[in-house]
Chain A
Amino acid sequence: MVTSLVDELRGRDDASLGALFRTRPDLAAPMPANLVDLASRAATRGSVLRALDGLDRAALQTLDGLLVLRRAASVAELSALLGRPPEVALADALDRLRLAALAWGDDDAITCVQTMRDVAGQYPAGLGPPAAALLTPLPASVLAEIVELLGGVPAGDAATDAAAAIAVLSEPTGLSDVINRLDDEARELLESTTWAAPVLPVRDPGPGRAYGSPPDQPVARLLRRGLLVPVGGGVGVVPFEVGLRLRGGAIHRDSAFEPPELDRSVQLAGLVDRIGAGAAATFVDQVDRMLASWATAGPQALRTGGLSVRALAQVAILLGVEQQDAALVVETAFGAGLIGTSDSAYPVWLPSVEYDRWRARPVADRWVFLARAWLATTRVPGLTGTRDDRDKRIAPLGPEADRAAAPVIRADVLEVLAAAPEGAVPTRDSLHRVVDWRAPRRGGHLHDDLIAWTVRELPVLGLTGMGALTRFAAALVHGSRLDPVGVLAAGLPEPVDHVLIQADLTAVAPGPLIAPIAAAIGSVAQVESTGGATVFRFTEASIQRAFDAGHGADEVHRLLERVSRTPVPQPLRYLVDEIARRHGRVRVSAVASVIRLDDPATGDVLLGDARLGMLSLRRLAPTILGSKRSPQSVVDAMRDAGHSAVAEGVEGELLVREPANQRAPAYRSTRRPTGPPLAEAALQALVRSLRAGERARANRPGVGDPNRPRLRPRMPVETVAVLTDTAANAQTVWIGYVDNNGGASERLVDPLRVQGGWLTAYDHVRDAVRTFAVHRITGVAPIAE
């Protein structure tokens, strides 16, 4: 007979303990010292709420069944309350609850943790307390009237009458009669509570009176029959039995024990992958373009850390997408650690050092990196632009757009899709229903939004195509043996190495360009349209830019000849020549100091003077020289060389044209997403440590326990002997130990060796090998086997 959660946990095998940690990973951090610790941790409010978020609808309904009875229930009772679900389904749901340590007990007496009752509130499942709890405290006169009106004969004794009333209310047919005999007004009033809270307003009774509500009111007729019981505070409660009868005997309107199924049509898997691969390539390209533009001109970070509305709008315009999708690009890049803020006084968003590594990889690799980041990130792009609790607009990249439930819901959606046959296209509604069934409480009030956002983002990322999961996305789902990179790479279009240049001054790359050609054409033309192909446009400004970057006209011509598969149109060649002709007609250069001379001859002298070489003098005009050195150093150098020079008012500074290509440290999420799968090894270690803690606890006999091993003081020599002995036999011993601070403790250890006055031993509770000074060991006792 299991009487407590600790008992239940003690009865578990290692696998089952491991499973508990798997379903409730929060219990593993920090590590509980022993099972009592674990049991109490599992019953804390926070942990219970978290566990509830992970329950499916069937389990939640089962839990309702356990809660409404307010006592231990048998499976048969539960089954009746839940509308007789399939036995297997109910047993499964109970197993899930037991496994999660939310309920325990054999099938004839299942209990849920007490905290659950606190969490569920006053009226679990919208049902009141049992009649017994409500009626017993009522005064005898009131009870007598109830019994009479329920069709019995009052005994006049409170206890007997209460029992009689309870008996009527607990018997379904009798209760139905009572309800049916009510007048319409009173019955409708009572029925209004059926699917709502089981309460009605009543007037509190004055002193010496049974009821406050006037007798002619329908509520009084309910009160006088015990169908509604005043509990003070102006509230009357409908007893559980009555509520249950109103609901027809089952506590839920719709039984959720049958998981919903996807309504789906089918698409050809090949087409799905093609469409998905196209979207995947586009998404990678969008992230790349956004980051490349931020590398030279990152947007200012808001004071609160986010991105301004304007900056997001600019990203949307740059990428030619809706703001929602721009937010997805930005947040995914952030979640992937590809952006961060600069370390300056006015922080700016910049690509991170990670970006350079990411960019160097092939498209398929880059996509998988982004897709994994999206799956794992707690960032929620869908929140962008919505209002938070204080009615403040939530900015992308801001601290408010973070929800721990987001990655779990994404994983749920993907798992549901992956479980369907290849190429299945679920309807949006049915997908939503199925995901919702798996964990209807997850995400709180954002639950539906989080699912909807996830579903909306799937095609944008290329996880779905034509509404069905792509094969490379399925490969991302936990447990798949396929390599997503390989599957995706096979579906991506072959890169091309040429463009078609046309007379309207556009160049079309009929496919994804290989990087060097893309960079080359990008240096002389601007991108006009993206997608499967890229359209570039040559403008005066774009060609000017090429000249600014140091290309000459010949070079531009050669570049065009090289990248174009078709002859370069005459107007384009003419345009390049025109701009080359104009280029450099006005020249601007930087000098730090200007040297004015009275006559050109002095200039010749200065330019010829070898001692002034370090000034790198340059003739700007017959009587004007320029130098890169500061006026002060020019004056000094001239004087040293014997020319008399005078400083003339200090002005002029170097103009730095090259924009700094800046990087920020990578973003590291500080938030711990719930539910990262624990590694198998870690789970085993956890269970082993628990077991040890448990042994330690069991072997720490109480005072006066006859089995208590006596940790009597021994001579150090004796201690050493015992320890050496146990080390040799790989035994576990109990030692008394005084630590550095003088604190006495008792440790359960496996001695490994004794050397130089130190014991090296495995400490079970701390799960580590420690050293102990032999002279501080106060006693040794082998554990009772």
Chain B
Amino acid sequence: MTDGPLIVQSDRTLLLEVDHPDSAACRRAIAPFAELERAPEHVHTYRVTPLALWNARAAGHDAEQVVDTLLLYSRYAVPHALLVDVAETMARYGRLRLEKHPTHGLVLVTTDRPVLEEVLRTRRVLPMVGARVDPDTVVVHPSERGHLKQILLKLGWPAEDMAGYVNGEAHPIALVQDGWELRPYQQEAADNFFDGGSGVVVLPCGAGKTIVGAAAMARAGATTLILVTNTVAARQWKDELIKRTSLAEDEIGEYSGQRKEIRPVTIATYQVMTTRRKGVYSHLELFDARDWGLIIYDEVHLLPAPIFRFTADIQARRRLGLTATLVREDGREGDVFSLIGPKRYDAPWREIEAQGYIAPADCVEVRVTLTESERLAYALAEPEVRYRLAASTPAKMRVVDELVRRHRGTGVLVIGQYIDQLDELGARLDVPVIKGDTRVSERQRLYEAFRAGEVDVLVVSKVANFSIDLPEASVAIQVSGSFGSRQEEAQRLGRVLRPKADGHGARFYTVVARDTVDAEFAAHRQRFLAEQGYAYTIVDAADVLAGE
């Protein structure tokens, strides 16, 4: 019986005891093949999934290492079935390889002939391949490179893509490190990505994913297409690239609803890429508009389905995915793996937080009690409108008043879902409101003012959810949100996690109505945040108002 920090459960989860002296070493050893699921204060939960094992294979680990790691750190017996399964699953990766053949072009090569026979016998693979070159090699139509990888993954025989990449049109890009430095983990992430060819870098919000992107561009030294979630994010990428690299403003184009510039570095939004005219994705040709040497996908976990489809056709180009989480709510993690690439770098939030690069956050849930008439109205309401009723109760106003009063001057964001509620809050607090119909220039002006400290409180709708940078926001107050989505939660938390100039911790308040569906969503949120390892407390509105 060893006294290791790890307990291997029969459902393939790994429990890591954080306070154990060996826990840091163990964490590093298991991170390549296990996905962190929960990281509360005492025991972290990792899960060993086939994708995680294949990621490990792609990163050069073998089954023996995985098994040895489990046996070395495990406190109790490791279930035999798990060990067998690890070996079997890992052995499946790389039996099939996509390679470039000197005369036949793209080919599928196997080291295990029966596997090739098996996959060639499936109805879906057959149309994608051509002639058999030799018993172990079959020609693949170049246009099917991505689709074939998707299907092989579904068949449980993920192919290793060794067919290489086109260099694309060269374009010199260099990092300009004046007054800032690439952090060690950013350097490592960019290097791991580039050496691996294509793949995904997982970094928490606020850890400087844009800079990893810039570093990757510098390594590629080629024209780059960057896909981001929305226009604000596009502008921020542009600003950041001008600031951090040798690129000049006229080298960077924006391809969005408003502007259609195609330049050596082009930043496009998911929205414009997926706009359909008469049933056709008219903007997808942007992928072919230049001989791109690198394609960067920001927020990979939000990548929409049509982009996946198109990405399948550009497998010869280097692809970098950036994200805070590999968990997709639509369950398409497998497509990210086969189309963008395996995970190339991963660092947990807490570790980067411990290094002082992102601010620790305190999460507080404030529970307000509905009045009796509100309770009656709520009880009698149709299910569809119940959430709105509960979320926009006037009782929340007083709590927000008090919280804003308390934190005034430190940069406060009030975030909500319902426009009338936000308008009312804006009027009540006498502060600007940013919502969907606020013009982009006006938004940027307000953000700038907020950053400069001229405006210390902003009320924002969900437009603020994605990819905006509010460095001075140290307090966020959430009054309503769309149904407890984990992604939304991660994004909102990201808003207040940026490093603060004064080194102070951030506060994340959520105001919820007790005994309603609002509180149920709050329970999801609490679980998610606690699983991420954030301190979480619940207080009564009365206590807040009483000034405690």
Interface, chain A (partner B; CB < 8 A): 271, 274-279, 281-282, 320-321, 459-460, 464-467, 493-494, 500, 502-506, 508, 510-511, 529-533, 535, 566, 569-571, 574-575, 578, 582
A206 to B527 alpha-carbon distance, docked (Å): 92
- Map CB proximity to A onto B72-84 as digits: 1 under 8 Å, 0 otherwise: 0011111111010
The reply to whether B7 and A532 contact each other, CB–CB distance below 8 Å, is yes
Interface of B is mostly: mixed
In order of increasing CB-CB distance, the 10 nearest A-B pairs are A278-B77, A532-B76, A531-B9, A504-B530, A502-B40, A503-B530, A533-B7, A531-B10, A574-B538, A500-B42
Known: A533-B15, A571-B526, A571-B536. A506 touches B79 (CB 8 A): no
A321 to B9 alpha-carbon distance, docked (Å): 12
Known: A504-B530, A570-B537. A532 touches B43 (CB 8 A): no
- List 13 A–B pairs whose Cβ atoms lie within 8 Å, in order of A's numbering: A278-B77, A278-B79, A493-B1, A503-B41, A505-B526, A508-B15, A511-B7, A529-B9, A530-B9, A532-B76, A535-B9, A535-B45, A574-B538
A511 to B78 alpha-carbon distance, docked (Å): 13
Set of chain B residues within 8 Å of A503, measured between Cβ atoms: 40-41, 530, 535-536
B71 at interface, CB cutoff 8 A: yes
The reply to whether A502 and B78 contact each other, CB–CB distance below 8 Å, is no
The reply to whether A282 and B79 contact each other, CB–CB distance below 8 Å, is yes
Q: Which of B11, B42, B77 makes the CB contact (< 8 A) with A465?
A: B77
A657 to B79 alpha-carbon distance, docked (Å): 39
Known: A502-B42, A504-B530. A529 touches B13 (CB 8 A): yes
- Closest residue of chain A to B17, judged by CB? A510
Set of chain B residues within 8 Å of A321, measured between Cβ atoms: 10
B219 at interface, CB cutoff 8 A: no
- Map CB proximity to A onto B1-32 as digits: 1 under 8 Å, 0 otherwise: 10000011111010101000000000000000
A511 to B6 alpha-carbon distance, docked (Å): 11
B531 at interface, CB cutoff 8 A: yes
Set of chain A residues within 8 Å of B17, measured between Cβ atoms: 500, 510
A372 to B76 alpha-carbon distance, docked (Å): 25
A510 to B42 alpha-carbon distance, docked (Å): 11
Known: A277-B77, A506-B40, A510-B75. A535 touches B530 (CB 8 A): no
The reply to whether A502 and B7 contact each other, CB–CB distance below 8 Å, is no
A321 to B79 alpha-carbon distance, docked (Å): 12
B515 at interface, CB cutoff 8 A: yes
The reply to whether B80 and A282 contact each other, CB–CB distance below 8 Å, is no
A351 to B79 alpha-carbon distance, docked (Å): 27
A494 to B10 alpha-carbon distance, docked (Å): 18
- Closest residue of chain A to B13, judged by CB? A529
- Name the interface residues of B21-62: CB closer than 8 Å to any CB of A: 38, 40-43, 45
Known: A278-B76, A465-B80, A502-B530. A533 touches B9 (CB 8 A): yes
Query: Chain B: how many interface residues by the 8 Å CB criterion?
Result: 36
A271 to B77 alpha-carbon distance, docked (Å): 8
User: How many Å from the CB of B530 to the closest CB on chain A?
Assistant: 4
User: How many Å from the CB of B17 to the closest CB on chain A?
Assistant: 6
Set of chain B residues within 8 Å of A275, measured between Cβ atoms: 77-80, 83
Set of chain A residues within 8 Å of B38, measured between Cβ atoms: 504, 506
Set of chain A residues within 8 Å of B535, measured between Cβ atoms: 503
Set of chain A residues within 8 Å of B78, measured between Cβ atoms: 275, 278
A275 to B74 alpha-carbon distance, docked (Å): 11
List 7 extra interface pairs beyond A532-B7, A571-B365, CB under 8 A.
Answer: A277-B77, A320-B11, A464-B80, A466-B83, A535-B9, A569-B536, A571-B530
The reply to whether A466 and B80 contact each other, CB–CB distance below 8 Å, is yes
Known: A282-B79, A532-B77. A505 touches B527 (CB 8 A): yes
The reply to whether A566 and B10 contact each other, CB–CB distance below 8 Å, is no
The reply to whether A570 and B9 contact each other, CB–CB distance below 8 Å, is no
Set of chain A residues within 8 Å of B9, measured between Cβ atoms: 529-533, 535
The reply to whether A276 and B77 contact each other, CB–CB distance below 8 Å, is yes
Set of chain A residues within 8 Å of B7, measured between Cβ atoms: 510-511, 531-533
Set of chain A residues within 8 Å of B74, measured between Cβ atoms: 532
Set of chain B residues within 8 Å of A493, measured between Cβ atoms: 1, 75-76
- Name the interface residues of B486-517: CB closer than 8 Å to any CB of A: 514-515
- Closest residue of chain A to B77, judged by CB? A278
Set of chain B residues within 8 Å of A574, measured between Cβ atoms: 538
- Closest residue of chain A to B365, judged by CB? A571
Q: Which of A282, A464, A465, A505 makes the CB contact (< 8 A) with B530?
A: A505
- Closest residue of chain B to A533, judged by CB? B7
Set of chain A residues within 8 Å of B71, measured between Cβ atoms: 271
The reply to whether A511 and B76 contact each other, CB–CB distance below 8 Å, is yes
The reply to whether B10 and A504 contact each other, CB–CB distance below 8 Å, is no
- Name the interface residues of B464-503: CB closer than 8 Å to any CB of A: none
User: How many Å from the CB of B222 to the closest CB on chain A?
Assistant: 44
- Closest residue of chain A to B514, judged by CB? A578
User: How many Å from the CB of B36 to the closest CB on chain A?
Assistant: 13
A535 to B40 alpha-carbon distance, docked (Å): 13
User: How many Å from the CB of B183 to the closest CB on chain A?
Assistant: 29
User: How many Å from the CB of B47 to the closest CB on chain A?
Assistant: 10
User: How many Å from the CB of A122 to the closest CB on chain B?
Assistant: 41
Q: Which of A276, A493, A510 has the most CB of B within 10 A?
A: A510
A530 to B11 alpha-carbon distance, docked (Å): 7
The reply to whether B42 and A508 contact each other, CB–CB distance below 8 Å, is yes
A466 to B9 alpha-carbon distance, docked (Å): 17
User: How many Å from the CB of B216 to the closest CB on chain A?
Assistant: 34
The reply to whether B530 and A274 contact each other, CB–CB distance below 8 Å, is no
Set of chain B residues within 8 Å of A274, measured between Cβ atoms: 1, 76-77
Q: Which of B15, B71, B365, B515 has the most CB of A within 10 A?
A: B15
A552 to B41 alpha-carbon distance, docked (Å): 28
The reply to whether B11 and A529 contact each other, CB–CB distance below 8 Å, is yes
The reply to whether A500 and B537 contact each other, CB–CB distance below 8 Å, is no
User: How many Å from the CB of A285 to the closest CB on chain B?
Assistant: 9
- Map CB proximity to A onto B106-128 as digits: 1 under 8 Å, 0 otherwise: 00000000000000000000000
Set of chain B residues within 8 Å of A506, measured between Cβ atoms: 38, 40, 43
The reply to whether A571 and B538 contact each other, CB–CB distance below 8 Å, is yes
Q: Which of A465, A500, A530, A578 makes the CB contact (< 8 A) with B43?
A: A500
Set of chain A residues within 8 Å of B526, measured between Cβ atoms: 504-505, 571
Q: Which of B10, B15, B43, B514 makes the CB contact (< 8 A) with A282?
A: B10
Set of chain B residues within 8 Å of A569, measured between Cβ atoms: 41, 530, 536
Q: Which of A465, A500, A504, A532 has the most CB of B within 10 A?
A: A504
- Closest residue of chain B to A570, judged by CB? B537
User: How many Å from the CB of A524 to the closest CB on chain B?
Assistant: 17
Set of chain B residues within 8 Å of A465, measured between Cβ atoms: 77, 80
- Name the interface residues of B69-97: CB closer than 8 Å to any CB of A: 71, 74-81, 83
A571 to B528 alpha-carbon distance, docked (Å): 13
User: How many Å from the CB of B527 to the closest CB on chain A?
Assistant: 5
Set of chain A residues within 8 Å of B77, measured between Cβ atoms: 274-279, 281, 465, 532
User: How many Å from the CB of A752 to the closest CB on chain B?
Assistant: 63
Set of chain B residues within 8 Å of A570, measured between Cβ atoms: 536-538
User: How many Å from the CB of A400 to the closest CB on chain B?
Assistant: 28
A567 to B75 alpha-carbon distance, docked (Å): 24
Q: Which of A511, A532, A535 has the most CB of B within 10 A?
A: A532
The reply to whether B41 and A502 contact each other, CB–CB distance below 8 Å, is yes
